[in-house]
Structure formats: structure tokens, C-alpha cells
Amino acid sequence: MSDAEPEFVTSNPDPDHPGWNDWVIRDPDSYNGFLGKMIVRRGGDDVGDDIARVRMFPERRHRNLGDVVHGGTMMGFIDCALFAAMRVLDLGPSGPAVTMELQTHFIGAANMDEHLEAQVEIARATRRFLFMRGLVVQEEGSNVASFTAIVKKGQASK
């Protein structure tokens, strides 16, 4: 993982989750802070090394009136996971990048008592854009959302 943007994020081995790094946004008042604890890794557990894995742990503030994870929370998590994936997959600094398009398809309700994991892969990378896709899954292997995205790389990106 690149250390190209220490002004935005820190990422160190997570003592509670061996093989994972924490993903800490330095400005806790940014939107990303609303999502709470997040951890990241590249591949592992029968997931290929070309896949970035980003996890969040739902809290009461993330629920909707049906007591499942709010769709807006999930979309915000997916958006943040795109940028974490850029770092995990060594595609350059994510701070100056911008989401140009994000399409989300909800497949099922996300339980509040299980972590959410975004599994993000790069479908294509050009000089200026990343075409990304992935799934949001929960512990029991159920898919709760799928997504595709286009991210415009920042000037400092590869």
C-alpha cells in the first residue's frame, strides 16, 4: 500500500483483525468519519489479490426504520471503498480523485449485526479513469449490493 497521501489517511496493521489494516481518515469530521471503523486488505480468504476488500461495522446510526443498514449508508460506504481500493491496489493517491459515476443495485437487506464488506476490482484503468465494479457482502456470504463506478484519477495518480 502506498504512503503517497499521509495528509488524508493512515493505515496500519489492525490488532483485532490479523492480515487487515485499519483505514483511518485523519479528519474525523468529514463524511467518511460517519461510517466509523473501517479495515482494508488485498485479497485473502480465497479472494484473489486483484480484489481490494474494505469492511465497515454497522452501528445504530447506520440503520433505517426497518432496523437494517440504510441504503444511503451503504452507498456512502461503497463510494468510500472505491478510494480505499485505489490505495490497496496501488493505483495512486485517492485524495485528489473524484467519483464520476456510481451505479448501485441493492440485492438484499444488510443486517445490522454483521460487518459489510465491499469487494472492489478494477475492470479497466486508463491514464485518467478507473472503471471499477464489485459486490457488498456480509459474513454469511450473502450479497447485499452490486456496483459499478467510474473514478477520475487525480493529477498525482499513476
**pLDDT digits over 34-63, tens only?**
888 999 999 988 888 899 999 999 999 999
3-state SS class at 38: strand
Domains and CATH numbers, the chain: 9-152 (3.10.129.10)
**pLDDT digits over 90-145, tens only?**
887 666 789 999 999 999 999 999 999 999 999 999 999 999 999 999 987 789 99
Please give the single-letter amino acid code of residue 78: I
Distance CA 52, CA 68 (A): 25
Other beta carbons less than 10 A from residue 84's beta carbon: 27
Confidence band for 7, pLDDT divided at 50, 70 and 90 = low
User: What pTM was estimated for this model as a whole?
Assistant: 0.88
Q: What Rg do the C-alpha atoms of the chain give, in angstroms? A: 15
pLDDT of 13 reads 85
